[in-house]
Amino acid sequence: MTDTPEGTLTIQTVPLPADTNGNGDIFGGWVLSQMDIAAGVTAARRARGRTATVAINAMRFHAPVMVGDLFSVYTQILRTGTTSITIHVEAWVQRLATAEHLRVTEADFTFVAIEKSGVKRPVPPE
């Protein structure tokens, strides 16, 4: 693991008490949804249009996210295929009370470019 985020800052937010699980940490599903939103923004920009998530590969949780952390999601395109885009996504937090900055989660998301009807379409050249 590197000590600095890889990719482009795509989303930044602060989780709230309503986002916690039964242990008081931020619910993993909330973390996943933020990562999917960020990856979706990157995929849509690259595809110049609508995309759909088709796979999430090797998601790893390294540390819990706490209420009040500054939660940041970074994205980096790994591969672009004929109709698909694979994006590496890292979630980092800054513990505002201590200024500690650490990677909490990472995964590779695969998206497919689609038409309005939901049919696959080619990803346009850059």
Residue-wise over 63-79: b if at least 16 C-beta within 10 A, else e? ebbbeebebbbbbbbee
What are the tens digits of pLDDT across the range 24-47? 999 999 999 999 999 999 999 999
pTM for this entry: 0.95
What are the tens digits of pLDDT across the range 67-113? 999 999 999 999 999 999 999 999 999 998 898 999 999 999 999 99
Residue 20 has pLDDT above 70, yes or no: yes
- What's the average model confidence in pLDDT over 49-53? 98
13 by Cβ neighbours in 10 Å (0-12 / 13-18 / 19+) ranks as middle
Structurally, at CATH architecture level, domain 8-113 sits in Roll (3.10)
107, 58 contact by CB (below 8 A): yes
Cβ within 8 Å of residue 92, ≥6 positions away? 5, 71, 72, 73, 74, 101, 102, 103, 104
- What's the average model confidence in pLDDT over 10-24? 96
